Chain A
């Protein structure tokens, strides 16, 4: 259904979905968007840094990652799951405490005021 992350499509081939306006996301928080039926957590770091990863926390199966607190741990920009506080790298989806619980990171683009997501 979606290509492996090791072989990314070029930006033109991706299917972009506009999910919201930049102003809809309070800087330093996330929201959950529905992209082609998939739950995607979209975070805004600072004024313009946008990141997107799966919203479902693999440990609990609950759709909650957009509701976690964001920040950094060393080099990683992360969100902490609101349920068990495990951290996910917003750029790669890697779960820092338990790599087997990593999630998928998705493509993001800001076009003017629009936030666009393409599933990875």
Chain B
């Protein structure tokens, strides 16, 4: 079957993904994509201005088309359809036959009929090309206006603000987001948006754009007032792209859009339409979730599932506009006959909440939330599943005054069929099934069901469902560290800090029981180090350390240790390299370059370690902490100093950062990368902390990982100056140290944070918890109290004498046997070893 897909946007690509998953036999798929690039994430388009690149926004996994065997024609617009011959012809004259044609042409931005709207520096906001043009104009503008105060218009205003422009929003209606919120909510939203420095002009009907006096344009309004600006972006809504349907006499909806039935079929059964271009029962959908649902239906249709049907879509939305939570559910405006509403407004905190209930008071019909949308998940489920309301529904939105939990809906109240994640259509039943199969963290649930993996709005609810199901199955949901402490690592950290506890004995006496173990001892040692930063081998602290930290080396399979001197930023002088080489040669060590741009020396026996380090320290080296759950390395590319593409001095910054954070103990190891330009040779986006130079400063990415589960780091802030960058890293690292579980890398920590990246930004940038200055002070303490552990160790005779193989014999461990391979040593394999029984050691 020949399938031609017209349009490769978000919905078109979802269709391809579904089709591929269904493995429809004999399907030959050709994709016509008008844009010069493959599908990208239009929902997060404004992040393009916060530093994301077109590649970051791409939705297409590398190799997707090749692996699926689909043909992609980029820059190829479908110009005509011949329904009788069943062919599509592109604008460049290529004619393709089809058995099934799928239209996913999307929509186009509506530009109101205003005289002068075609002038230079007037834009629409839809494609990456539009954004690139806006960016170029932003560089030569001081002031910008968005026409349209709806959802997209406000997104667009954020973009202009990110470009550093004085930003105005001009709206025809009396309030912002007129579709989703009511007057009172609109008022609170407006004052919040204005507090962020965006000027809002409502009830303004633009009639003409002419030359300005103080700026490029003058916008003249119907009431006779005017506003001058250097650039204008029209974001006054979208219209379905149904021209192919109209040209070919396919039925269209009453308000436009290609008419489809429940199976996404147009009036010609060989042609399907999905996404924003389609009109189902005269209704078009400008949200991605219904589009994705149509994509799934269409793919299943073509795979032979005739039953697959579209049942409409809930248009409830929750979003964060410039940091302001806005949500709208169902009948937000109370248009249902007989309905009644409850409203709560707090003008100090700028919060507005309204619920609309049925005439009999039994069911929730709709809601508006502005300024705080914490109840969104609960309210949405109540509305969608027609769950009986509690006797006093007002308590659903009133703040609790006595610390009591709100009348929760409890995950138990939801039917198995309740859709928890609308982006990926995941039901409660599917989440429960995943728990039954062993998933027990939100990260695992995301990985196996995709719930919460797109917009993340449902993560709190997914977590609730997961925990309830675990409790129901009798699975332990306790996060106790071990049998000795009935606390999570985060709680223990808090107890240590607040109680100023500095010894394990004290910690155990006050909050634990028993003797401790190999789980809680190193955890406590790490917490003590993060909080107080004493020498890790001082007194009792030594007894808490894993072998690696006790001997300040990485234990290897044969009981020898590896030695890693610090080389900040991967920079090393010839003298330094020679010194390392001489030490390796003298002690017969195997040498290898690590992934972190330094040299690892293997095969050192415990009693050799102090002498080896004495020589390395004399040559100017310090401990590399390769043995610790601590900052490891800051990898860098050579940067602007040498590289002809470099934008900034990545090596210099890497050295500075490595020296600042060296010695920091954390729940797990931490790796940094610094790249001097977007070519990203330091692979910074695969690190816990990644920094990339831009023309205007540094972009900071967080929570990346290589290894077993690779994860790209996410941009948390763009174009930072060095002081701002360091401040944000201080906060980030200390917040991670404070809240992560034991042995949890930043990427897993991030996947398990309710609220995800937005939450991190709120805490670390907007200081929503009011802890930023504390985090900075704590980091400064760690920085100020840094010491090279090896230097302290070799100068302390008590510590130094611990480095011996036998307490009662000066000999080395004869069981350690090396053989030679490629000119260096390696541990002997069992069959290569002389027979050495436990009982015998040759003298």
Contact = CB atoms under 8 A, between A and B. Distances in A.
Given A34-B808, A56-B838, A83-B557, A63 B514 contact: no
A20 B807 CA distance: 7
B350 interface: no
- From B483, B807, B811, B813, name the one whose CB has the most chain A CB atoms within 10 angstroms: B807
Contacts of A74: 483
A61 interface: yes
Given A62-B558, A71-B518, A19 B839 contact: no
A69 B813 CA distance: 20
B542 interface: yes
B657 to A, nearest CB: 31
A6 interface: no
Contacts of B517: 69, 71-73, 78, 80
A118 interface: no
Nearest to B543: A28
A34 B514 CA distance: 31
A67 B259 CA distance: 74
B784 to A, nearest CB: 29
A93 interface: no
Contacts of A32: 805-807
Contacts of A24: 807
B559 A63 contact: yes
Interface in A30-78: 31-34, 36-39, 42, 45, 54, 56, 60-64, 67-74, 77-78
Nearest to B542: A26
A82 interface: yes
A64 B807 contact: no
B514 A80 contact: no
A4 B315 CA distance: 77
B524 to A, nearest CB: 11
B557 A33 contact: no
B815 A69 contact: no
A85 interface: yes
A68 B809 contact: no
Contacts of B811: 34
A34 B841 contact: yes
A69 B806 contact: no
Nearest to A87: B518
A64 B555 contact: yes
Contacts of B774: none
A67 B522 CA distance: 14
Number of chain A interface residues as a range: 35 or more
A67 to B, nearest CB: 4
Given A38-B839, A83-B557, A68 B542 contact: no
Grouping DSSP codes into helix (H, G, I), strand (E, B) and loop, the A interface class, with mixed when no group exceeds half, is strand
Nearest to B540: A28
Contact of A69 (B484, B521, B558): B521
Contacts of A78: 517
A63 B804 CA distance: 13
Given A67-B551, A82-B555, A1 B808 contact: no
A29 interface: yes
A54 B558 CA distance: 16
Contacts of B557: 60, 62, 83
B118 interface: no
- From B484, B520, B543, name the one whose CB has the most chain A CB atoms within 10 angstroms: B543
Contacts of A73: 483, 517
Nearest to B505: A28
Contact of A33 (B546, B558, B807): B807
Contact of B550 (A1, A37, A54, A67): A67
B166 to A, nearest CB: 60
B593 interface: no
B529 to A, nearest CB: 16
Interface string B802-843: 100111110101010000000000000010000000111100
B449 interface: no
Given A19-B807, A31-B807, A26 B514 contact: no
B807 A63 contact: no
Contacts of B551: 67
- From B516, B559, B815, name the one whose CB has the most chain A CB atoms within 10 angstroms: B559
A61 to B, nearest CB: 7
A79 B808 CA distance: 21
B559 A71 contact: no
Contacts of A19: 807-808
B507 to A, nearest CB: 13
A54 B518 contact: no
A31 B809 CA distance: 12
Interface in B764-819: 802, 805-809, 811, 813, 815
A79 to B, nearest CB: 8
Interface in A1-38: 1, 19-20, 24-29, 31-34, 36-38
B546 A69 contact: yes
A62 B559 CA distance: 6
Given A42-B807, A71-B521, A82 B483 contact: no
Contacts of B838: 38-39, 54, 56
A80 B522 CA distance: 12
A106 B375 CA distance: 63
Contacts of B555: 64, 67, 82-83
Nearest to A32: B806
Contacts of A72: 514-517
A21 B807 CA distance: 10
A67 B839 contact: no
Interface in B443-497: 483-484
Contacts of B841: 34, 37, 39
B316 interface: no
Contacts of A27: 543
Contacts of B544: 28, 69
B515 A70 contact: yes
Contacts of B809: 33-34
B815 A29 contact: no
B547 interface: yes
- From B805, B808, B840, name the one whose CB has the most chain A CB atoms within 10 angstroms: B808
A60 B520 CA distance: 24
A77 B517 CA distance: 9
B808 A20 contact: yes
A72 B513 CA distance: 10
A71 B514 contact: yes
A84 to B, nearest CB: 10
A62 B606 CA distance: 13
Contacts of A26: 542-543, 802
Contacts of B542: 26, 29
Interface string B509-543: 00000111110111000000000000000001011
Contacts of A42: 807
B840 A37 contact: yes
A33 B839 contact: no
4 nearest interchain CB pairs? A82-B547, A71-B517, A28-B543, A62-B559
15 contacts: A1-B839, A24-B807, A32-B805, A34-B811, A37-B839, A38-B839, A39-B806, A56-B815, A64-B559, A67-B551, A69-B546, A71-B514, A71-B516, A71-B518, A73-B483
Given A32-B806, A71-B484, 18 more contacts: A19-B808, A20-B807, A26-B542, A32-B805, A32-B807, A33-B808, A33-B809, A34-B808, A62-B559, A63-B813, A64-B555, A64-B559, A68-B518, A71-B514, A71-B515, A77-B515, A78-B517, A80-B517
